[in-house]
Structure 1
Amino acid sequence: MATGDDFEGLVLEGVTSFDREELGRGAYGRVYAVKYCGATFAAKEIHSILVEGVGQVQMQRTVHSFLRECRQCSMLRHPNIIQFLGVYYPTLAGVQGIRLPVMVMEMMANSLTTVVDKYENIPLHIKFSIVHDVSLGLYYLHNHNPPIVHRDLSPNNILLTVRFVAKISDLGVAKVIKADSKKTLTRAPGTADFMPPEGLSTNPRYGPSLDVFSFAGIVLHTFNQQWPSPSDQTKLDPIANRVVAFTEVERRQQYLDKLTEEVEDLRPLVEECLEYNPIKRPTMATVCERIQMGKEFYMKLYSDDIISLHKDLKIHKVEIEGLCCEVEQLKNDLDGRDLELNHLRSENEHLRQQLFCQRPIAGPSLLPALTSGRYHIGWTRLANLPAPMYDPYVTIQDKKIYVTGGTSPEDNAFDQVYIYDINVDQWDRIPPSGQCGSIPQIIGGKLAVIGGHLPESKLDTNKVSTFDEASEAWISYYPDLLSARSRPGVVTHLEYVIVTGGAKSDSKPIVQDNSDSKSIVQDESKPIVQDDIEVLNWIENCNWRKVSINLPVPMYAFTPTICDDYLLVVGYTGADVKRYKNSFKILISDIIKLMEPCQPEAKDTRTKWIPMADTTYLHAAPVRNFPTPMVVGGEDQNGTTTREIEIYDSGTNSWRNLTALSSARSSVAAVAVGSNNALVVIGGYTEGDSIDNALDSSLDTVEQGKAEYVFTN
């Protein structure tokens, strides 16, 4: 029998098998995994049933036949034909003391049968790629010299890599067809559902067209993801009362009808491959060309190749695993901080009690004046605003201050945005936002302006524009408000942005025809003052949602702030009567938990608001981001401005004087800056008896105050 010497150059040394767990089984052998040179391969051995209990001559014939398959596979080189590596002889004794050869091939992930059953709705571009790979492999075999007919082409003998590259395997029953062969061939041993009539006849004669017929079954199986079992070969014709034979196309009609519209162009090709007469079937060269056209079309729709998708999947899996570890660590950290949070809550309550009782507390914070002394604030001038501003709006991030708002008549640009850098003590102007009367706010670390009206048409807007520092332009990054509003109250709390009130014109724009061009002007009707509340969760980046509670009264041109878990509003402008001294507060948690689709207003929608004492002065500006309610400046009933800074005493429900500004001003924008709680006072006006006085006396000065406690005897 054949030995390693008969197979010079193909015998492998150093092959080791694993636990010989079976990977697959064919008609003439079983497959298991082996390792060679550090890599894993598939090994195919002869079924023991074929060599056990037979004579020496029969066993040698079987071994010689197996080695002929190995020799034939060793001469084939194509990316869509399973790659033969060599043979090896296991160290264990074989049958009757004879060592049996084992074929070593490349390892594949799955068969086409397994993949079709395992995955639902395989993408069309992958299906086209699979059948195109099979057609290329058959084209190579048929173009071999002499041609090779596979004879057993079925989904079980088409193997796929993890990247869904298809390769033809199990060439043990392949037949070399010589051009001058006149002999009747043996009956093809292939799968009956995929075999043509000539391969199943008693005295068959066939050629490469046998595989073309089987390929049609591969196409139907791949695209329908269903095994294409043909119907009976004959039927009884009740009219002629005789048996009528079905064509091969008719036997598979139900599977042809299941081809979707996207692959309807494949149907004529499949029907040609199923022709009864082998001569009428197309060659694999023609099949390859027609399959490739469909593949190229769908590959353009799916530009990402399967390798990139697998790489992305691996990256995402690593990222997800990392995030899961982080989440678990955060859970552990949160569990470990429960005691610490309880301790901090106790300390906070203790400090609150000290504050209410007016006990001295050390530190730089701005607190109520004490009986034994009072706070003195040392004021320093910062760089002036680029233009006077009588009613500015401000927000702060780190050591940068952003300001928008009303300017003097000489600088009639109400959509300008100014930025101040504390490190260089300098104001700069960034591109206009295109929204006059909008409110600046830091959302998710980005500067945004909310609401206002459009400069030319004067129409109110619901736009939320975000400044992109890279392009130095305003973009739509967060969703727009549910309703247009100008000069609303805006405040942020954790991941929430709260927008309240604002004014909206109750008139429609009037189009005037000025001969050559038309212009849009706004009717001078009184605006509608709103009282609804909208909330955005910017982390989820979902849409704005209204809450089922409204402001205590309609408001606009006011500045809300967060103080000790409460939303605080001071002063407002009603639809009929202007009031500027009232103040209210509500728990932030009551706002958040009432986020739901807006319901018809009920009688108790404002009952959760807590009335506070009226401030002493009109137009007093709340201090943003300060733990205790505080207001700055304002004016009395006669329009005389004040220098006073007042703080709210919850114990007596009253506003008490804390200290004074360096100069009197009203409608200022005040913010707490940095960890030292330095107070920055921006713009405002000195005479507020009328809007003309406010415009004429608007300020461009910016002052910073730092508190120092002074004891008195």
Structure 2
Amino acid sequence: MEKLDKSLRSTPEHHQNIPMTIKLSILLDVSLGLQYLHCHKPPIVHRDLSSNNILLTTQLRAKISDLGVAKVVRPDSKKSLTKVPGTTDFMPPEAQVDKPGHYGTSLDVFSYGGVMLHTITQEWPTPSAVKQYDSKTKKIRGFSEVERRQSYIDKMPEESRELKPVVISCLGEDPNSRSSISDVCDNLKKMNEGQHSDEETNLWSLLAQKAQLEGEVNQKKVENDRLKIDIDRKQREINKQKKEAEQQRIETEQQRMEAERQKKVVNRYKKQIDDLQEQLKLLTPLSQTNLVNSTVEKAASLAPAQARQQIHQQQQSQLSNTVKSSATIASLPTNAVQQSTQMSSINSTVAIQLQKSKQQLQELNQKLLTGYQRLNELHKHPNQEDNIAQLNSQLKLGVQQRQRLQQIIQQMNLQIQRQQPSVTQSPNATVQDSLEFSLALKSGQYQMDWTTRSSLPTAMWRAHATIINSIMYIGGGTCSDVMEMYNVYAYHFEEDRWDCLPPLQQYYGVPVNITEKLTIIGGCDYTHKATNKVTAFSYNSWKNDIFPNLLMARLRPAAVSYKSKIIVAGGKDHDDKVHNNIEVLDITTLQWKIINIQLPEPMYAPSAAMCGESLVIVGFTTEHMKRSNKTFLIDVDKVTTQSELTSYTGEDNMWSSLANAPYYQTALTPSSYSLVIIGGSDKQGKTTNDITIYDDVTKSWRRVSSLPLHCAWATATIINNEIIVAGGCMDTLTNETCNAASLTSVVMGHPKEIN
């Protein structure tokens, strides 16, 4: 079988001055091929004849190809045929209507007329418009198929004048008026007799082969250039790997230096504590106690008997406390702390020193209290100015020592929080904080006391938040400024300030806490294509190689953390399909698996949170992008212990359906005691400021308090028995957009007892 990689279209357009004998030979070969198809019983119609589907051999012999849409046409059949899928510029008018009805071999004859025009003029015969302005009649009128191609017929050279009637007969408007392909073959055979020269054909064939070889050489050059590009790309990858290896080495060195620094910190803390021990002894020496006692006794000799008895009891009590404090200080170890290069050993040593420092602080507070009591007694007696001044000086020194000890304790706490590694996260820390909050709201005896905090750096709604080391990270929301959607913001509660983390190359992802690392799960890229990336924030940059990616792309899924598991459910995939399957990440093995349990229905952008040992989902968007206020609950242990999905068994009955939430687009707050939802919108899209709690007794939702403003799609969480609500949007809402301004406000509230 001969390989033909050159079409009739490419030959006339790339080779000028092709001899007419070669053109006639090619057209004759095509007509003979069509004659073979049309003479078949019943006839076969090609339906897509054009210069693209005619291939040439190295000897410039034409072959008809691409019979994929060819049909056997029976003249006596009454069945209507489908619309012809051929090349428009070569199709007759009866084949370009929606319901072409019946057509026959004359369809290919019309296409052959277009092939003749292209071969002879060496230009693609694009017809003009069907209706045009006629300069003679000054009206718009319809043009026939021949008139639409008249400009190309006029370009036919003088030596092909005998072919003009054949071309015109093939391009007839009426299918019955067109010549048969047999008549065309006869005319071409007569014209081709005596004109064909084998020498001329061979010469032209050699020239065509030369042009083909030149094209192949150019193709090889292109391939070589591509190969060079690939080599350069691989070299860049190698350089990148070297750079990453160097970066890893630098990070390892930084960790080693950090461990050395920790050792120095431990030694510095021990030295400071030893100094404090020496300074504390200044408050408790026996000579000082005797001096104060003698002063008080001298003053007491002037007082009545009852006062002398009371002062004597206080002296005995303070002396006993002083002896106990001195014994406690003397019992403190003075040996150097064991040094270790392991970070866990360093943190353990710091924790021991922290405990000792707290104990010393408590003892120091007791001594200061005793000193102030003695000072009050001295003020009751005259002529004690010198003793009062001396005791004031000692108390001032004790206060300074207490401040210094408090600073050391604070530094140790920060050191442990910053450096202590976490094998598994404790995701329910904020949930435990919410127990008192839930009880207060449910009792009905409290109302919310709200304070305004620093505003979000940008307006944001439908975002998610997670808390790590008393810092709230918020992201994955929709922003009024598109560029802001790549940002994740950190809120410091104590300092009431926002920080912006480096831009992230994915948005609409869900932030979660994995082993004390801020991690963004799922979302989409800048083309709004769903992604399966799991990106962690480490060493002030985003990294994709710390945790494994999801098994499937998910846009706006539900994601929660529970013990040593991360649960991700729902969301959209690459094809904008909303799913109901669930993936679980085991932090100990760092492996994802799609489990053999599914959501009750496909969910997009749900509000999900942990309520004690249960996973709750509320206020999502359905598969058809309709708002939903359905509420579902499941024992999370049933989810995390499921085996990997092999075939779905329909175990979604593990979910419990609760009463529908009173509002759509609401914010579900994590709680250890009750379900609490913040804000939302009604059926008409009007936002509310209600705070609603689920009553386990009546199995219904009950309004318990209110926000200082109306909002939906806000972000809410609880920390230190206070709820913080950030962002959202107000006024009328639809499924995907808000028709009014979005919010940057941040408010924090705590339950306050009703007077």
Q: Same fold (TM over 0.5)?
A: no
Higher strand share: 1
Normalised by the shorter chain, which TM-score bucket? 0.3 to 0.5
* Length-normalised TM-score, structure 1: 0.44
